[in-house]
């Protein structure tokens, strides 16, 4: 059963909960916007040269604030769920109490993420997708970590340009990704209320936050909301989504440093300080990461990066790019941990299938 969401409640809650960004003069803000647009265009060219992928050129570049980012993602989620058959609570003047509760939850989640996300290739709200940069968050990070601003902006732009390539240069990627999400919702179990599911997820996240970071991993330490509220069939769909997202995040990480080595003077400084920021959240951040499953995403960066770097080192960019030829060439979660097994299957036996379609 697909969730019914009161999107007006989601939008109003996200707007109410979003914190203000760093202080900037109007002239300074305009400089940041101009700079990010320029770096985004440069990054797309650099990533195309490095990766061997060619984007279709249809996705716009937008530099946004936190409220605008949240509203774009609300629009995308609404479009996604309606396309999957959910009722459009936003079109109903008397949305149900459950839809309003879900709207509050969605708005609160997006409000939190709006202060964390630096950039995104958003795939749901428009047919072409769009490349987003959240200007106040980028400025906030470069100030707090004392980073060279223009180098950091180009470095982040390269990461997001890599995601743009993945979804626009690979013709089947977007439909495949959306299809996995469709499978996830088709496998939902309607018996348990969203309130009880959310309550269980919160309790597990609180428990994990009290533990040391090295005790929050592994099968017994799964505490994110997806592990707490999903059916076995949904977890199978999540496994496929997880493998795909691990690959995409790892590829973007590999590309940003590969490009950075030749085009960014202080890339090692950027990487060192940025990874330290990821690794040491405060108590509130640890709780929210556990609740939203963001710790799993941090592990995706590392595992996916190891896989991509191994294949590129041993087989070159052209060998790695066999991965984009067909969904059957995507690695499973097991293969991401064992790159040699993927290379044997795909590079030695290119017509073999693993059942990702």
pLDDT digits (tens, 9 = 90+) for 153-172: 999 999 999 999 999 999 99
- Average pLDDT, rounded, for the chain: 82
Minimum mean pLDDT range among 18-22, 310-314, 322-326? 18-22
Angle at 284 between CA 197 and CA 11, to 5 degrees: 60
Minimum mean pLDDT range among 134-138, 147-151, 216-220, 342-346? 216-220
In the predicted structure, residue 297 carries a pLDDT above the cut 70: no
Helix 149-168 and helix 135-144, axial crossing angle in degrees, nearest 10: 140
What is the pTM assigned to this prediction?
0.83
* Residue 106: predicted pLDDT: 84
331/299: higher pLDDT:
331
What percentage of the chain carries pLDDT values higher than 70? 74
Average pLDDT for residues 219-240, to the nearest whole number?
Answer: 61
Task: Kindly report, residue by residue over 102-117, the tens digit of the pLDDT.
Answer: 888 888 888 988 998 9
Q: Which residue has the tokens 């097994």?
A: 341
The two structure tokens encoding residue 158: 């390269």
| pLDDT band, very low/low/confident/very high, at 356 (cuts 50, 70, 90) | very low
84/265: higher pLDDT:
265
Task: Kindly report, residue by residue over 240-284, the tens digit of the pLDDT.
Answer: 888 898 899 999 999 999 999 999 999 999 999 988 876 655 544
Total Cβ atoms within 10 A of residue 223: 26
Minimum mean pLDDT range among 26-40, 165-179, 233-247, 274-288? 274-288
* Residue 188: predicted pLDDT: 62
In the predicted structure, residue 197 carries a pLDDT above the cut 70: no
Contacts of residue 80, Cβ cutoff 8 Å, sequence gap at least 6: 124, 178, 181
* Residue 351: predicted pLDDT: 46
Average pLDDT for residues 51-68, to the nearest whole number?
Answer: 93
């Amino acid at each position: 059963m697909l969730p019914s969401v009161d999107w007006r409640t989601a939008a109003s809650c996200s707007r109410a909960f979003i914190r203000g960004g760093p202080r900037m003069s109007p002239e300074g803000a305009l400089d940041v916007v101009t700079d990010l647009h320029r770096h985004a265009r440069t990054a797309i060219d650099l990533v195309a040269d490095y990766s061997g992928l060619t984007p279709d050129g249809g996705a716009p570049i937008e530099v946004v604030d936190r409220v605008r980012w949240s509203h774009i993602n609300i629009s995308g989620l609404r479009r996604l769920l309606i396309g999957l058959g959910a009722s459009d609570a936003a079109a109903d003047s008397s949305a149900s109490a459950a839809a309003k509760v879900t709207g509050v939850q969605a708005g609160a989640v997006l409000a939190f993420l709006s202060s964390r996300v630096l950039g995104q290739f958003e795939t749901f709200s428009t047919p072409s997708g769009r490349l987003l940069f959240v200007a106040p968050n980028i400025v906030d990070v470069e100030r707090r970590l004392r980073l060279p601003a223009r180098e950091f902006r180009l470095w982040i732009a390269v990461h997001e340009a890599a995601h743009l390539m993945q979804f626009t240069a690979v013709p089947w990627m977007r439909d495949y990704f959306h299809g996995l999400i469709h499978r996830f919702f088709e496998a939902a179990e309607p018996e348990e209320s969203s309130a009880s599911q959310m309550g269980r997820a919160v309790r597990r996240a609180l428990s994990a936050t009290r533990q040391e970071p090295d005790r929050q991993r592994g099968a017994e330490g799964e505490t994110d909301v997806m592990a707490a509220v999903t059916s076995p069939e949904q977890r199978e769909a999540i496994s496929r989504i997880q493998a795909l997202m691990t690959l995409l995040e790892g590829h973007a990480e590999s590309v940003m440093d590969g490009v950075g080595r030749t085009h960014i003077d202080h890339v090692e400084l950027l990487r060192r300080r940025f990874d330290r920021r990821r690794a040491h959240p405060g108590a509130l951040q640890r709780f929210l990461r556990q609740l939203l499953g963001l710790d799993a995403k941090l592990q995706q960066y590392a595992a996916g990066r190891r896989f991509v770097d191994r294949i590129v080192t041993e087989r070159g960019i052209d060998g790695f790019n066999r991965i984009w030829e067909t969904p059957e060439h995507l690695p499973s979660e097991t293969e991401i941990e064992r790159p040699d097994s993927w290379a044997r299957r795909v590079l030695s036996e290119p017509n073999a299938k693993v059942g990702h379609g």
